[in-house]
C-alpha cells in the first residue's frame, strides 16, 4: 500500500493547485467581462481556489503521517533481514 499512499501524497496538492488555478481563472475572467458589478461572483472563484488548495494540502498531510510510519517500519525490517543474512553467511563460512 506504500505506492498508493505515495501517489496520494503527491497527487493531492497538485489537484489542490489545479483547483486554485481554475478558481483564479474564473475570477479573473469575470473581472474582464460584464459581470464586474457582481463582486460575490468574483469572490466565489477565489473561495473555490482556496478551498481546493486547503483540501489538497489536508489530504497530503493526512496521508503523509502513515506513509512515513510505514516507510520507517519497512526500513527497520530491511535492516533486520540484512543483519540476519549476514549472521547466516558468517555461520555458513565456519
The count of other CB atoms within 10 Å of the CB of residue 43 is 12
Q: Which residue has the higher pLDDT, 78 or 31?
A: 78
pLDDT tens readout for residues 21-51: 887 777 777 666 655 566 666 677 777 778 8
pLDDT at 83 (0 to 100): 94
Mean pLDDT of 7-20: 84
Q: Give CA–CA dist 51/55, Å, rounded.
A: 6
Residue 82 pLDDT greater than 90, yes or no: yes
Angle at 75 between CA 71 and CA 76, to 5 degrees: 120
pTM equals 0.59
pLDDT at 79 (0 to 100): 94
Amino acid at each position: 500500500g506504500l505506492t498508493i499512499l505515495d501517489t496520494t501524497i503527491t497527487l493531492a496538492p497538485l489537484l489542490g493547485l489545479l483547483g486554485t488555478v481554475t478558481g483564479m481563472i474564473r475570477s479573473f475572467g469575470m473581472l474582464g467581462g460584464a459581470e464586474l458589478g457582481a463582486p460575490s461572483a468574483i469572490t466565489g472563484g477565489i473561495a473555490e481556489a482556496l478551498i481546493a488548495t486547503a483540501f489538497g494540502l489536508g489530504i497530503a498531510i493526512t496521508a503523509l503521517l502513515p506513509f512515513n510510519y510505514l516507510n520507517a517500519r519497512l526500513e527497520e525490517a530491511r535492516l533486520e533481514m540484512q543483519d540476519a543474512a549476514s549472521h547466516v553467511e558468517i555461520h555458513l563460512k565456519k
